[in-house]
A and B are shown apart, each in its own frame.
Chain A
């Protein structure tokens, strides 16, 4: 087992363990900060799939944008919101049991499918060229954005403006929402 494998499985374990902690944690602030750890480790996993630009975008957008947004939404809201976040009743609920059961069964289905599929023998994979470590994938992404994926890119920009206006409208102070 080389260094690559060790680092990969370290980050994979970090993603899964911190995600599990986020989900079971009662304290919301702690769970948001652990969400940060999980997203950062996920960015490291993207690097192992040779997607440097995606990893960078993940760090900038999630760690820089989404997380700060969540913390701000959390801290700008008044004290009652924080108080209402305390768990109403503790103990193991039927709701929890059903949720665990459904997620475990779903995990079982996914793992069975992944294990049974021969992923390295897919048809399209035989003909396609894999990304090499020395390739400049950011350069490639720039070219793709302006050629084959120009329409989704433009739609996305219009959509982002709509979201910006919508979110600002929803979050404005006073008046009817």
Chain B
């Protein structure tokens, strides 16, 4: 039996690793991976709490929804990154400084 707090500590660590990637990486794909880590940390918390809730099953259901939303987010984000590269010839987020044409 794994205590709930250990799940939460792992997810806290994973979240901070993702936060670090988002703050410091200079490559949009790695920033995206950082965001995915943060989402996965949240999903781990959902699942860990969902273990104690069999009747309404909220934890596991929303974990499933969060995974699907994250996958949808990745698909759009990668399309945007490819377009940003086509326009700016770089995917460094700090170099893309305009939104309009």
Contacts and interface: CB of A to CB of B under 8 A. Distances in A.
A144 B61 contact: yes
B89 A84 contact: yes
Interface string B39-53: 010011001101111
A176 B18 CA distance: 33
B24 A22 contact: no
Given A70-B74, A141-B57, A102 B23 contact: yes
A153 B23 CA distance: 33
B7 A45 contact: yes
Given A102-B23, A107-B12, A141-B60, A65 B81 contact: no
Interface in A148-168: 148-149, 152-153, 156, 159-160, 163-164, 166-167
A42 B15 CA distance: 13
Contacts of A137: 60
Contact of A23 (B5, B20, B92): B20
Contact of B5 (A96, A115, A156): A115
B9 A111 contact: yes
A110 interface: yes
B61 A141 contact: yes
A171 B79 contact: yes
A177 B83 contact: yes
Nearest to A80: B89
A149 B14 contact: no
B87 A177 contact: yes
Interface string B81-94: 11101110111100
Interface string A94-133: 0110111011101100110011010110001100111110
Given A28-B29, A107-B13, A107-B16, A66 B57 contact: no
Contacts of B40: 39, 42
B5 A170 contact: no
B2 interface: yes
What are the 5 closest A-B residue pairs judged by CB atoms, nearest first?
A99-B24, A99-B23, A170-B79, A110-B12, A103-B20
Interface of B: 1-10, 12-21, 23-27, 29-30, 33-34, 36-37, 40, 43-44, 47-48, 50-57, 59-61, 63-65, 67-72, 74-76, 78-83, 85-87, 89-92, 101
8 contacts: A20-B17, A28-B27, A35-B36, A69-B78, A84-B85, A128-B54, A131-B54, A159-B69
